[in-house]
Amino acid sequence: MTETQDHKPRMLRPGKGPTVLPKSGWTAPLTSFCAGVMAFLAVLTLAASFAANAVAEQWRADLAGVATVRLSTRDGDVDARTKAVLEVLRTTPGIAQVRVLTAKEQTALLTPWLGEGAALSDLPSPRLIDVRLLGTGPDRQALQGRLDLTVSGAVYDDHSAWRGPLTTAAEALERMAIIASLLVLLTVGAIVAFAARATLIANRHVVETVRLVGAEDSYIERAFVRRLMARAAAGAGAGAAIGALAILMLPSVETGDAALALALEPSTLQWAVLILGVPILSVGVTWLAARGAVRLTLRAMP
Amino acid sequence: MPNVPATHAGHLAPLLPDGTIRQLVARFAGRTNQFHSQLHPFRRQTPQCTSITRELLAAKRCALGSGNRVCNVVRERAQALQCGWGTRLILLDNVSFGYGGRETLSSVSAELAPGSFQFLTGPSGAGKTTLMKLLYLEHLPQRGVLSLFGQNPTQISRQALAKLRRRVGVVFQDFRLLEHMTVAENIALPLRASGNDVNEHEQDVLELIRWVGLEARAEALPPQLSAGEKQRAAIARAVINSPDLILADEPTGNIDPEMGARILRLLIELNKLGKTVVIATHDLSLIRASKGQVEARMLRLADGHLAQGAAAI
């Protein structure tokens, strides 16, 4: 067989096996492009979800276990009234620690709103007492009653009035971001299913011929699914990388707000989810969608 | 080619190099026996057939060293086929099929014996291609029963249907060569589609390419081939998996008479190797040319009905 060995057909050379499907021409990159765009959007929405979760968690952590007593400075001897309030607080179960905020600390709290150099003494600002709680804290109404009996103009605020709506809003934002991410992944699935069906129909003559020479459906399915998965993997990988770069390039917001700072800095695990998880999920969704679409189309053939 | 009858050797001379046919037979007979023993439980249960299978395997080993054994192997294989499916490789019982509500085939009944050589004739539109499509399982009967190798394709799984298709080699009227694959790749397609590693069957593919005289065109793409070359590539693809049944739909329809005669000789030679061959054609000269070369029978279709069943030519 020296003659034939000298003249080896292309197919028989190792590593050069032909694919059953012909090249798809200009439509081939469209699947990758769509998968890339969807992965980019998935990364952004997941990052938003992580940020919303971080904000909600931070607010919960910061505000739970903390309360404030505001004491009006308009009535009588403020120092004496402050001392009376502190006495009431120290003798109330559920309170771990109390501390009167200094003038400097109060000024720092108002600086974001009034700007640098505002004279606090010119404002009718109340005296603030920081209260650290034990467990769920004291009975709010009972404590307020004791304060009312002791001094006038003292208000106990456990922040529940605005903490509740804020954390609810943050949680809703987080849920919406997760739903958006899932919708993006479902869209990937829908695009891939369309692409699989279109490719199968465009190559119907190839599929029919391959079946008639003895190929099982699983063989044809593998050929299609592998091709689509390769395209989706390339697109999703690039999309996720660009999404991650976009997050890194977001301008930093220097508000001094710990919650916001945390939101803009995903943890290592969250980065792994964004950079690796999104492409892997996209490929998984592609596998499912392509497999389903190809199976359904093949079953319609005799 | 001392061990192949002189008449055959003479016919094949333009296409077959010396010794190729012996190697092909030995190789394909062995593969087919193995395939049958795995897939045909009925035959395994029959003591006589089991021994025939064993004898065939032994004969195959002898055949590798002795050309005289080759024809015995093939004949015994044809007998083995009869053990499995009786005298009917194909059974059509009142089979009907139509497109869009119009019946193209009406209540066709016929039986084809293993190892037989059949012409399927009739005018254009008589239903020849539809019947061939039923036989190569592109379509399934809408009414009636089709039995192929003892199996009813409407009652088996899709996986079993694919395996059944592997036992049928088809030379399509329009060749159906995949245009993005080279001749070699097209010929190896049934091996690949059956889950085989084509590199393990390198010799089979190369020998077949030589057998059909396409070694110089092995890397050509189908659009670069003449009709005759496409036809030969299609025949090589049809036999690469060593099928028991070869169906050729108008195999000489697109080629000149000389090439038509050569292709007929190839099909006759395959029949002599034990393959059941069915040729659908409206070319009466092709049928006349077969006289004296093979014991052919003829099925004639007219308006979707079987006008003449399996008559000797």
> pLDDT tens digits, residue range B162-208?
999 999 999 998 899 999 899 999 999 998 888 888 777 888 888 88
Among chain B residues, CA nearest to A3 = B215
Name the residue among B284, B268, B266 with its Cα closest to residue B276: B268
Interchain contact, B193 vs A213, CB within 8 Å: yes
The predicted complex's ipTM stands at 0.73
Query: In whole numbers, what is the pLDDT of chain B averaged over residues?
Result: 75
Among chain B residues, CA nearest to A12 = B199
pLDDT higher at A254 or A132:
A132
Interchain contact, A18 vs B139, CB within 8 Å: no
Best mutation target among A7, A11, A221 (most B Cβ atoms within 10 Å) is A11
Best mutation target among B175, B189, B205, B247 (most A Cβ atoms within 10 Å) is B189
B306 φψ region: left (φ > 0), alpha (ψ -120 to 50), beta (else)? beta
Amino acid A252: pLDDT: 66
Which residues neighbour B2 within 8 Å (Cβ) at sequence distance 6 or greater? Answer: B67
Collapsing DSSP to helix, strand or coil, B226 comes out as: coil
Contact B207, B24 (CB under 8 A): yes
Q: Which residues of A touch B (CB under 8 A)?
A: 1, 3-5, 7-12, 14, 17-18, 20, 22-23, 205-206, 208-219, 299, 302
pTM: 0.68
Interchain contact, B137 vs A302, CB within 8 Å: yes
A35 residue type, one letter: A
Token pair belonging to B31: 């593969």
Contact B40, B6 (CB under 8 A): no
Bridge partner list, B148? B90, B151
Question: Does the pLDDT of residue B222 top 90, yes or no?
Answer: yes
Task: State pLDDT tens for residues A252-288.
Answer: 665 555 545 545 678 899 999 999 999 999 999 999 9
Among chain B residues, CA nearest to A300 = B158
Which residues neighbour B48 within 8 Å (Cβ) at sequence distance 6 or greater? Answer: B83
Report d(CA A296, CA B300) in Å as an integer: 38
Token pair belonging to B35: 């395939």
Which chain A positions have a beta carbon within 8 Å of B193's beta carbon?
Answer: 20, 210, 213-215, 219
Least confident stretch, A285-289, B79-83, B213-217? B79-83
Contact A137, A72 (CB under 8 A): no
**What whole-number percentage of chain A has pLDDT above 90?**
36
Report d(CA A131, CA A30) in Å as an integer: 60
CA distance to A24, A186, A297, per residue, from A199 (Å): 8, 20, 11
Interchain contact, B137 vs A208, CB within 8 Å: no
Report d(CA A301, CA A219) in Å as an integer: 15
Interchain contact, B190 vs A217, CB within 8 Å: no
Angle between the B158-165 and A217-248 helix axes, to the nearest 10 degrees? 120
